[in-house]
Amino acid sequence: MPTFLQHLGYFPAHIWYVATDGGSGTVDNAAAPFRTCCGSGSATKANPAAGDAVLFRGGTYAFLATPPTGTAGAPTILMSYPGELAEFDTAGTGFSALNLSYTVFDGFKFSANGSSAGLALGGYPANIDNSTNVILRHIESTRNKWGIVANTFTEYIVEDSVFHDNWPSTGCNSCEHGFYATNHDGYTNPGDNISSRNVKNFFVRRNLFYRNTYNGIQLNGRFSNAILEQNISYSNGIAGYSWETGVNHSTFRSNVAINNTTHGLVLYDYDAWCPVYNPGGVGSTCPYSENYNLIENFSVYNLGQDPSSGASSVNASTAVIVNNASTGTSIDMGHNTIRNIVAVVPDSGDHYHALEWSQASTGWPGTSTVAGIVFQKIGAGAGGSPIGYGPGSSYGYAPYSCATAATITTISGCTNADPKFAAVGTWDVPTAFDLRLQSSSPAIHAGTSAGAPTYDLLGNPFANPRSLGAYES
């Protein structure tokens, strides 16, 4: 087993084995597993130290483990035994994981914790320094209030995992996001002094988010150098991806969104966050700017139908929306770059669009850049404008065509045409969608190559020039 773990990049000092039928165990002996984890005082409880690994044999567990935090040179490894699945499926079980650093969670399933998160991570009290360098890998989380919640941290990786069906019909209580990442640093209690610190270096890649009551994944608060790449998010109750109240200098690339009730990606500022976490900044310094972000190679197909019922949601089904609902006077939601986008979105009378800035007279489109977009608007009375800026004359957003959009933003490579995805489905059969491009697609090799990602969602290299969207072809 040590050799196999080294092949995965894990080099534990000792290996502790835990099994549902374990007993008084022996460290480094797979034939003598423990029954529970983690701590001293019981012969049946594994007692790992920083730098050790704990391997859980397949089965369902019903205890709450408090693992030791790792160190920079000796991370703690918690994982299912290779080829097996360890599941925690009872409320209040799993891992007590607040204030952990240098810890890896690999291969677990968290389910049926209906009133809380499948796994709760981050610093408590809210302090970025309390939790750093945590990796979530090969995780499944379902039937929880949140699939995973992580508050106030730095240097996290979430990869190759699935967050799904955190949904009322599965028994969760007040279900919300598939993955909920927040930053409340400096706000331990209402009225605390404001902190300007960002959560930094949050890497989210190659994950699935689907059928979550709110958003597939939401980042809320100040984040910088968040990188979301090669993810798929579909059939969520609000948006596929949500960046709120302060995501800046971050990257969103090679992602897919399919038939979420509202938007593919939303950048959103709102006041309700501020009275709780920064009451002194309401209407002035809070909420925070969402600027200098890069959004590229995004594939979106929105039918404008609620994925749970089929009800119409045409008025909220954009590919990307920059939406300010706050009264803050110092907010900047411009200086963003949007490029290599391919999108199909619903419309009615040219009131709803692939890209939207909801608030007029901000000038935010003018400091942003749109480079490369193939879009198609579907539905009765669908118009031909890719961009909406400010309220429309009667409803929706004021339309700007490929030509007239040049009066509000820097735009190039704009095409109104069927992108010719490989296959599309219906609101109730999301697995029928395949957003790879047919060979005759106008999005093939139509993108800008400057600074674009090296690999598409499937790991294939992008050509030069690159195709639009998350897939090279």
pLDDT of res. 114: 73
The separation between the first and the last C-alpha atoms of the chain, rounded to the nearest angstrom, is 40
Residue 83's contacts (CB-CB under 8 Å, 6 or more residues apart) are: none
Residue 282's contacts (CB-CB under 8 Å, 6 or more residues apart) are: 271, 274, 275, 327
pLDDT of res. 196: 61
pLDDT of res. 135: 98
Task: DSSP for 219-284, please give it.
Answer: EES-EEEEEEES-EEES-SS-SEEEES-EES-EEEEEEEES-SS-SEEEEE-STHHHHH-GGGBTT
pLDDT band, residue 225 (cuts 50/70/90)? very high
pLDDT of res. 192: 42
> Which helix (H) or strand (E) element contains residue 155?
strand 154-159
Structure letter (DSSP) for residue 432: G
pLDDT band, residue 306 (cuts 50/70/90)? confident
pLDDT at residue 195 tops 70? no
pLDDT of res. 324: 85
pLDDT at residue 290 tops 90? yes
Q: Which residue in this structure is represented by tokens 């689907």?
A: 210
Q: Reduced to 3 DSSP states, what percent helix, strand and coil does the chain have, rounded to the nearest 5?
A: 5, 40, 55
> 257 burial class (0-12, 13-18, 19+ CB within 10 angstroms)?
buried
Averaged over 235-247, what is the pLDDT?
95
pLDDT 10s digits, 250-268:
999 999 999 999 999 999 9
pLDDT of res. 377: 93
Query: Minimal CA–CA distance to 109: which of 85, 130, 131, 74?
Result: 85
Structure letter (DSSP) for residue 193: P
Averaged over 242-248, what is the pLDDT?
93
Q: Which residue in this structure is represented by tokens 């035994």?
A: 81
pLDDT band, residue 194 (cuts 50/70/90)? very low
pLDDT 10s digits, 336-386:
999 999 999 999 889 899 999 998 888 999 999 999 999 999 987 889 999
pLDDT of res. 330: 75
Q: Which of 60-69, 117-126, 191-200, 292-301 has the lowest mean pLDDT?
A: 191-200
pLDDT band, residue 432 (cuts 50/70/90)? very high
pLDDT of res. 190: 40
> Which helix (H) or strand (E) element contains residue 388?
strand 387-391
pLDDT at residue 187 tops 60? no
pLDDT at residue 444 tops 90? yes
Query: Minimal CA–CA distance to 144: which of 110, 121, 120?
Result: 110
pLDDT band, residue 450 (cuts 50/70/90)? confident
Q: Which residue in this structure is represented by tokens 């404001």?
A: 194
pLDDT at residue 142 tops 90? yes
pLDDT band, residue 117 (cuts 50/70/90)? confident
Identify whether the C-beta of residue 473 lies closer than 8 Å to the C-beta of residue 437: yes
Mean pLDDT of the chain: 91
pLDDT at residue 328 tops 80? no
What pTM, to 2 d.p., does this model score?
Answer: 0.95
pLDDT 10s digits, 76-106:
999 999 999 999 998 889 999 999 999 999 9
pLDDT at residue 66 tops 90? yes
Task: DSSP for 42-107, please give it.
Answer: -TTEE---TT-EEEEPSEEE--EE-PPP-BTTB-EEEEEPTT--EEE-STT-EE-EET--SEEEES
pLDDT of res. 186: 54
